[in-house]
Amino acid sequence: MEGETSWFSHCLDDIPRDVRAYDSFQELRDEGNEEVTTVSVDLILPDDLLERILSCLPIPSIIRAACVCKRWHDIVSSRRFLWNFSHVIPQKPWYFMFTSSDEPNGYAYDPIIRKWYNIEIPCIEKSNWFISSSCGLVSIMDNDSRSKLYVCNPITKCFKKLEEPPGFKFSDYSALAISVDRISHGYNVSIVKSKQVPGNFFQWNLSIHIYFSDTMMWLTPLTEVLTGWRAGDESVICDGILYFLIYSTGGRMPESRHGLISYNLTSHSSHDLLIKSFIPVPCSLTCGRLMNLKEKLVMVGGIGKQDRPDIIKGIGIWILNGKEWKEIARMPHKLFQGFGEFDDVFASSGTDNFVYIQSYGSPVLLVFDMNKKQWKWSQKCPVAKRFPLQLFTGFCFEPRLGIIP
């Protein structure tokens, strides 16, 4: 499997030769040092207690700890440590912001210590590639041929290339989503493909393709023709349900340019028409962004003006309860002005209890805490200093050590 080399394998090579670790106080005595009066706590702590101490460190510090000595390296790279760290120690989602250049460069934001880290995400070649994340894994697909499809862990850099679905031909629009089981670490990758029926602007062929990591096989459970609507590039999986936005293609003008469709991934049914699951969006939107927050569907949308639905007047956050939308928050006007009140589209993603909203025109990142109902600006991203006069985009992911594709 590609990228399976241990992420700790290079750490010890960077340690200076004069740096040594002693397994016990007795080794210090054996060196003939009779004047030793103090001993590092590390030397007398048992492995299990040292493991508990190291597990309280943030992830960047754990990576550095692996370079301290062989003992620490063995502890933080052990299966038990990785499992406990991933399942016991709570981690808040990071946000990776990168440029629109041909070779994306970026930084990841840690909301706990409010710090940016310069990291490289494997497999991403261009900023317009499709990206989706779940439980520490990120799925990535190219925006040209749709033939390059990867699943990777952004922290450990482990990745796997997936074969494209059988018979998967070029589409006009595609939406990518991934869902990871938090216990087994098995995952599903879904692609919603939408292609215009030749000679008919109002009809679009839609198909759903699902990859199962346990069988390493693709399934195409459903194909359908939508009239007056097409799928786009926005989808997410929540509690076994695939949700994706659809967009009006004209004809009889609907009340809104957007709608929501759902499909039960566990049923694999192809009998019911997708349009029967249609859910209208809560108001006229300039754009909509879907995300999974603790298996609940959340949407962040640009609110369009009543007389000019293509002009943004605010940004709202809604959660779906059954088939009804409940408004959770609306960006305060003073923040909306600072965010960029003329940007009718923007990047937004979230997981756990955090929602990130970012302007494409500047490296401005706003964070909304769903539990505290609080808005907060992040620290200024250094990507703007290194890459001025660029457009910016990004996505959030959970930083996890003990999971591989």
Q: Which of 197, 189, 198, 247 is nearest to 220 (CA)?
A: 189
CA distance 99 to 277: 37
Same domain, 248 and 379: yes
Domain boundaries, position 137: 98-397
CA distance 222 to 151: 23
pLDDT in tens, 125-177: 888 899 999 999 999 999 887 789 999 999 888 999 999 888 777 778 999 99
196 assigned to some structural domain:
yes
CATH number where 146 lies: 2.120.10.80
CATH number where 33 lies: 1.20.1280.50
Same domain, 176 and 75: no
Same domain, 79 and 167: no
Same domain, 293 and 318: yes
Same domain, 183 and 53: no
Pairing of strands 365-369, 354-358: antiparallel
Mean pLDDT in residue range 234-259: 85
Domain count, the chain: 2
8 assigned to some structural domain:
no
Same domain, 71 and 199: no
Domain boundary among 43, 67, 87: 87
305 assigned to some structural domain:
yes
Q: Give the Å distances, CA to CA, from 305 to 35, 50, 213.
A: 78, 58, 44
Contacts 24+ apart (CB under 8 A), 119-125: 119/154, 121/96, 121/152, 121/154, 122/3, 122/150, 122/152, 122/154, 122/157, 122/159, 123/148, 123/150, 123/152, 123/159, 124/98
Query: What's the pLDDT score for residue 105?
Result: 73
| Size of the chain, expressed as the number of residues it contains | 405
pLDDT in tens, 337-375: 877 666 788 999 999 999 999 988 888 899 999 999 999
Domain boundary among 59, 87, 115: 87
pLDDT band, very low/low/confident/very high, at 259 (cuts 50, 70, 90):
very high
Model's pTM, two decimal places? Answer: 0.84
Ranking 115-124, 127-136, 232-241 by mean pLDDT, the lowest is 115-124
49 assigned to some structural domain:
yes
Domain boundary among 68, 87, 106: 87
